[in-house]
Amino acid sequence: MPSDAIPIIAVARTVLDLRAAVGEWRKAGLTVGLVPTMGALHAGHQTLVREARATCDRVVLSIFVNPRQFGPAEDFAAYPRQEAQDVARAAAAGAALVFAPDVAEMYPRGFVTSVSVGGPSQGLESTHRPGHFDGMATVVSKLLLQCGPDRAYFGEKDYQQLQVVRRMVDDLNIPVEIVGVPTVREADGLALSSRNAYLSAEQRAAAPVLARVLRAIAEGVKAGRVLSDEIAQGVVRLRTVGFDAPDYIALCDAVTLAPMERLDRAARLLVAVRLGKTRLIDNIPVVP
């Protein structure tokens, strides 16, 4: 096979088929990595698959646009769906199997269970997307139990999600190692996101200011300046190029996500803000 040829990989639609494939690998003594996604794959997702492939013999990429983690006014119906392209991208990055169940397979009639994580799920996204993390935690716990991977890979792009998943896996003794992967960015600093496709050309040109503002605030607090002043300046800069008032810009403990006033331990600076109709999130580490 020429080196640029994309291997053809299988798509499992049912938990039974997923378990059969993973069972065969287990019998052969192979290790398994899981990369959960909602599809519309980009180079960020492919980096997760490559990371997984570097440490696991076989990689499963799941595609499921999870209705339970979208609010009633959110973009569930409009969320980009492009399975054939996703399967090709997953294969090109080294996945061995795509798991793409439909809603009835994940939530059959009579489904009434919800996984609700406290601690890091409180505040930030939860304030603006009530129920989002319950939906996410429910589907991620199902995926982990359905697949039974050795490791599961999540992007730091969704930093609060990553901390919620870590907490959940610890609390529920789910036997899996959670691996966080640094955010993949465009050359101009914009974090890759499936939702960037919603941006107009003009908005796309303004969008990298978000990452620049985060870096400026982080440098300010590292230099000992007052956090609230730095954030206020950042907000002005965002408004100038067309962003709305942010849902939040917050410096938080890197693990618990408890809010911080000053940089006295390892922290994360997190933001969510709308640019037109598109809600962008980003975050960076801030180390004293």
Catalytic residues: 45
Query: Does 120 contact ligand AMP by CB under 6 A?
Result: no
For 221-288, strand residue ranges (E) read 248-253, 267-275, 278-286
Which is nearer to ligand AMP, 125 or 230 (by Cβ)?
125
Query: Does 192 contact ligand AMP by CB under 6 A?
Result: yes
The one segment of 6-14, 25-33, 91-99, 186-194 that binds ligand AMP by CB under 6 A: 186-194
Among 39, 41, 34, smallest CA distance to 18 is for 34
Identify whether the C-beta of residue 158 lies closer than 8 Å to the C-beta of residue 279: no
- Tokens 């599809």: give the residue: 39
Binding-residue pattern over the window 147 to 166 for ligand AMP, x denoting contact by CB under 6 A: -------xx-xx--------
For the bound state, the minimum distance from the C-beta of residue 138 to ligand AMP, rounded and expressed in Å, comes to: 15
Could you give phi then psi for residue 169, rounded to 5 degrees?
A: -65, -40
Helices (H), strands (E): how many in the chain? 10, 9
Cα distances (Å, whole numbers) of residue 157 to 11, 34, 146, 177, 281: 26, 17, 25, 18, 8
Query: Does 191 contact ligand AMP by CB under 6 A?
Result: yes
Binding-residue pattern over the window 22 to 61 for ligand AMP, x denoting contact by CB under 6 A: ---------------xx-----xx-xx-------------
DSSP state of 5: P
For the bound state, the minimum distance from the C-beta of residue 192 to ligand AMP, rounded and expressed in Å, comes to: 3
For the bound state, the minimum distance from the C-beta of residue 69 to ligand AMP, rounded and expressed in Å, comes to: 9
Can you say whether residue 138 is alpha, beta or left, with left for phi > 0 and alpha for psi between -120 and 50 degrees? alpha
**Where is 276: in which H helix or E strand?**
none
Candidates 137, 184, 214, 227; binder of ligand AMP (CB under 6 A) is 184
The one segment of 92-100, 176-184, 216-224, 270-278 that binds ligand AMP by CB under 6 A: 176-184
Cα–Cα dist 88/4, whole Å: 12
For the bound state, the minimum distance from the C-beta of residue 272 to ligand AMP, rounded and expressed in Å, comes to: 14
Candidates 30, 194, 248, 254; binder of ligand AMP (CB under 6 A) is 194
Residues 6+ apart with CB under 8 A from 29: none
Query: Does 86 contact ligand AMP by CB under 6 A?
Result: no
Query: Does 135 contact ligand AMP by CB under 6 A?
Result: no
* Chain positions contacting ligand AMP, by CB under 6 A: 37-38, 44-45, 47-48, 154-155, 157-158, 181, 183-184, 191-194
